Amino acid sequence: MRLTVGQAVVRFLAAQRVERDGVRQRLFGGCFGIFGHGNVAGIGQALAEYADEYGADFRYYQARNEQAMVHTAVGYARMHDRLRVLACTTSIGPGATNMVTGAALATINRLPVLLLPGDIFATRRANPVLQELEDPRSYDVSVNDCLKPVSVFWDRINRPEQLPSALLAAMRVLTDPAATGAVTLALPQDVQAEAHDWPDELFAERTWHVPRPVPEPAALRRAVDALRGARRPLIVAGGGVIYSDACAELAAFAEATGIPVAETQAGKGALPWGHPCAVGAVGATGTTAANALARRADVVLGIGTRYSDFTTASHSLFADPGVRFVNLNITGFDAAKLSGEMLVADAREGLAALRRELEDHRVADSYQAEIAELTASWNATVDRAYGLGHGPLPAQSEVIGAVNAAAGPRDVVVCAAGSMPGELHKLWRPAGPRTYHVEYGYSCMGYEVAGGLGVKMAAPDREVFVLVGDGSYLMMAQELVTAVAEGVKLIVVIVQNHGFASIGGLSEQVGAQRFGTRYRYRDDSGHLDGGLLPVDLAANAASLGAHVIRATTIDELRDALEQAKAASHTTVVHIETDPLVPAPDSEAWWDVPVAEVSGLEATRQARARYEKEQQAQRHYLGT
């Protein structure tokens, strides 16, 4: 079949299928893109040529910003448990490099996305072309090389003959849960438009089977022995539990053994709030219940977690001198962390195997009673935070409480950066898996609206509540336009607190006095501490085509959320909060270095506190 490279790419992607647990579906939900020179005549022409043939099965979606469209693809893939993917095509140069942040986010969160940046001419006939980097040391370098370290697979197609093997490798990586992340195929613009005679089999329907590897018997025995010997075991559930659809198996294992389950940001919702074994968030933004258990745990069973510093409280949380880790993970890379017993397997298969071996094993009644007591005490803390009645401006925790009350059991909350992720992690009461979507691998400002769009595209029958701070909103709000154009309904709650409440708090903690963390006019003394700026984000959202409701009290917020739920179009609710109300304490630390010498008394005091906290840090080298 004689097609251009662009046409071949589109035909190939449309023919890919994915299968897990006997369910087979299209791998690609479509292709996002912003056209320019580099893709308009290649992938762009191909998408135009096949638009009617493929219809909704493989649709072109227009974004407003290339970084944002990668976020959208990530939200979509996560909501589909990594089984469905979106492609993203860009022009060369700035269009391509705008995707670098999105690619890093995808790779860090272990979520699949296919990036198809345009690239400079392979023939180099008229170089330098518009937007070409021109590295004097090598004409082989282009700005797309920036995507290499943030991609799990990267290739450049300089000749049509290279395409089939590159496409197959890309699909293998996208559908391999142990390897997945951002996959980049850089496509020089002349090559995209070049015709080639392709074998017909390249475009035949092809099914990629997602594996569920089972644990090796010897590794299983070691893990079982460690858990049998534990008096105070604790499970740390990460995103892998949800992506592997292992939540029911996790509940069964926890119920059989009585082992409490703490959750990372990506793992939150693995057990529904209120489950007798659920102790909530763990780590620097954790609940006092999970963290008290973590401090004294003798065996930690980490499942599908990458053990970020937030989870381990910067290696200070797991404080029992003899604490050991058993890590059930699809990758050896993560399973080896903290010198853990490596149980390399699919989370669901691994949990089923552990349950078979440990069904007769239960934690002591006294431990269970302690768990219930700690959880009840934390629940009372959340009740207080939700009903604080702070004034004149409400506290952020009250906003979270109102959104939590408005969300139905299948609805999804989306967030990524600022002070809300930490508060959501500890305070939000999830109804179950896939209802809590906080991007915290990269905690990227600007993910919220764009990622929320991808979530809603993947789950159109659920309400999607996007919680976004004013800082994040100002960084990347423009995909509201895409939501409006596509008729994809989002409920966006803008939490206006005139700057970076999160970094303000952090700044105070490190003795930097909230410097540069508020949005203010420059004052007469030259500092950014002047009056409030005349910024109206509600008006901004309205100008982008969203329906807007302004709320000033929590009661008005509740009303606004009900109106937004009843509406059929994207609705933005604007509320101002007090940035200085602290969230309930997690009683856990996060390592952010403090200046070792300073003329500021506040900094010197912060340094003294820091050096004390640092003493709790461990290497976890095993026994």
Ligand X SMILES: Cc1ncc(C[n+]2csc(CCOP(=O)(O)OP(=O)(O)O)c2C)c(N)n1
Contact residues: ligand X, CB under 6 A = 417-420, 443-446, 469-472, 497, 500-503
Residue 419: which of ligand X, Mg ion, none does it interact with, CB under 5 to 8 A by kind?
ligand X
Question: Rounded to the nearest whole angstrom, what is the least distance from the CB of residue 513 to ligand X in the complex?
Answer: 16
Residue 189: which of Mg ion, ligand X, none does it interact with, CB under 5 to 8 A by kind?
none
Please tell me whether residue 169 adopts helix, strand or coil conformation: helix
Q: Candidates 117-125, 128-136, 385-393, 492-500 — which segment interacts with Mg ion by CB under 5 A?
A: 492-500
Question: Rounded to the nearest whole angstrom, what is the least distance from the CB of residue 444 to ligand X in the complex?
Answer: 5
Residue 420: which of Mg ion, ligand X, none does it interact with, CB under 5 to 8 A by kind?
ligand X
Which residue is it, tokens 């390249």?
202
**Minimal CA–CA distance to 430: which of 275, 560, 276?**
275
Q: How far is CA 593 from the centre of its chain?
A: 25
With respect to Mg ion, which residue has the nearer C-beta, 117 or 469? Answer: 469
Q: What six digits make up the tokens of 553?
A: 């009290």
**E-state strands within 407-456:** 412-415, 436-438
Interface with Mg ion includes 421 (CB under 5 A)?
no
With respect to ligand X, which residue has the nearer C-beta, 292 or 420? Answer: 420
Question: Rounded to the nearest whole angstrom, what is the least distance from the CB of residue 559 to ligand X in the complex?
Answer: 23
What is the per-residue binding string for Mg ion in 454-483, x denoting contact by CB under 5 A?
---------------xxx------------
With respect to ligand X, which residue has the nearer C-beta, 119 or 423? Answer: 423
With respect to ligand X, which residue has the nearer C-beta, 263 or 576? Answer: 576
Pairing relationship of beta strands 59-62 and 85-90 according to DSSP bridges: unpaired
Question: Rounded to the nearest whole angstrom, what is the least distance from the CB of residue 98 to ligand X in the complex?
Answer: 13
**Minimal CA–CA distance to 114: which of 190, 14, 22, 23?**
14
Phi-psi region of 452 (alpha: psi -120 to 50; beta: other; left: phi over 0): alpha
With respect to ligand X, which residue has the nearer C-beta, 257 or 311? Answer: 311
Please tell me whether residue 337 adopts helix, strand or coil conformation: helix
With a CB cutoff of 8 Å and minimum separation 6, the contacts of 286 are 262, 280, 294, 313, 425, 426, 586, 588
Residue 443: which of ligand X, Mg ion, none does it interact with, CB under 5 to 8 A by kind?
ligand X
Question: Rounded to the nearest whole angstrom, what is the least distance from the CB of residue 520 to ligand X in the complex?
Answer: 13
For Mg ion (CB under 5 A), the number of binding residues is: 4
Question: Rounded to the nearest whole angstrom, what is the least distance from the CB of residue 549 to Mg ion in the complex?
Answer: 19
End-to-end CA distance of the chain: 61
Pairing relationship of beta strands 261-263 and 278-281 according to DSSP bridges: parallel
Residue 445: which of ligand X, Mg ion, none does it interact with, CB under 5 to 8 A by kind?
ligand X
Q: Nearest to Mg ion by Cβ — which residue?
A: 469
Residue 113: which of ligand X, Mg ion, none does it interact with, CB under 5 to 8 A by kind?
none
Q: Which of residues 494-533 bind Mg ion (CB under 5 A)?
A: 497
Residue 472: which of ligand X, Mg ion, none does it interact with, CB under 5 to 8 A by kind?
ligand X
Question: Rounded to the nearest whole angstrom, what is the least distance from the CB of residue 445 to ligand X in the complex?
Answer: 4
Residue 417: which of Mg ion, ligand X, none does it interact with, CB under 5 to 8 A by kind?
ligand X
Residue 444: which of Mg ion, ligand X, none does it interact with, CB under 5 to 8 A by kind?
ligand X
**Minimal CA–CA distance to 477: which of 487, 490, 459, 486?**
490
With respect to ligand X, which residue has the nearer C-beta, 160 or 499? Answer: 499
CB 446 within 8 A of CB 67: yes
Q: What six digits make up the tokens of 3?
A: 């097609």
With respect to ligand X, which residue has the nearer C-beta, 192 or 517? Answer: 517
Question: Rounded to the nearest whole angstrom, what is the least distance from the CB of residue 555 to Mg ion in the complex?
Answer: 22
Question: Rounded to the nearest whole angstrom, what is the least distance from the CB of residue 532 to Mg ion in the complex?
Answer: 13
Question: Rounded to the nearest whole angstrom, what is the least distance from the CB of residue 503 to ligand X in the complex?
Answer: 5
Q: Give the Cα separation of 132 and 135 in Å (integer).
A: 9
Residue 191: which of ligand X, Mg ion, none does it interact with, CB under 5 to 8 A by kind?
none
With respect to Mg ion, which residue has the nearer C-beta, 233 or 471? Answer: 471
> How many CB atoms lie under 10 A from the CB of residue 203?
17
With respect to ligand X, which residue has the nearer C-beta, 106 or 246? Answer: 106
With respect to Mg ion, which residue has the nearer C-beta, 49 or 508? Answer: 508
Residue 502: which of ligand X, Mg ion, none does it interact with, CB under 5 to 8 A by kind?
ligand X
Q: What six digits make up the tokens of 178?
A: 């142990």
CB 213 within 8 A of CB 349: yes
With a CB cutoff of 8 Å and minimum separation 6, the contacts of 605 are 511
Question: Rounded to the nearest whole angstrom, what is the least distance from the CB of residue 498 to Mg ion in the complex?
Answer: 7
Interface with Mg ion includes 446 (CB under 5 A)?
no
Which residue is it, tokens 């860009």?
90
With respect to ligand X, which residue has the nearer C-beta, 344 or 395? Answer: 395
Write a three-state SS string for 32-90.
EECCCCCCCCCHHHHHHHHHHHHHHHCEEEECCCHHHHHHHHHHHHHHCCCCCEEEEEE
DSSP string for residues in 242-265: HHTT-HHHHHHHHHHH---EEE-T
Residues that bind Mg ion (CB under 5 A): 469-471, 497
